[in-house]
Amino acid sequence: MNEDRKAGEDYIVIKALENGVTIIGLTRGKETKFHHTEKLDRGEIMIAQFTEHTSAVKIRGRAELLTRHGRVSNAE
């Protein structure tokens, strides 16, 4: 992350391409831990934000992501 940007300024948009997509928020700090989980069904969209507590997001299932870096899909 650019040093001029602060936690909470970046958002990602996650669109489920199938039922049961799991989104897991991971913590910052010495030990990375799961701290939040959401399930999305096909067509549902979630907007997620990186914060002082959330450093990473893990996604299980077919989904499309839109970030300031571009669009990413794990669908084949």
| pLDDT tens profile 25-40 | 888 778 778 788 999 9
Q: Is the dihedral of CA 30, 59, 43, 15 positive or negative?
A: positive
pLDDT for position 8: 58
Q: Is the dihedral of CA 24, 65, 55, 60 positive or negative?
A: positive
Of 73, 76, 74, 37, nearest to 54 (Cα)?
37
pLDDT classification of 75: cutoffs 50, 70, 90: confident
Query: Cβ(60)–Cβ(22) under 8 Å?
Result: yes
pLDDT at 76 over 70: no
CA separation (Å) from 36 to 13, 26, 55, 75? Answer: 16, 7, 12, 24
What pTM was computed for the model? 0.78
pLDDT classification of 1: cutoffs 50, 70, 90: very low
Answer CATH for 11-73 from 2.60.40.50, 3.50.50.60, 3.40.190.10, 2.40.30.10: 2.60.40.50
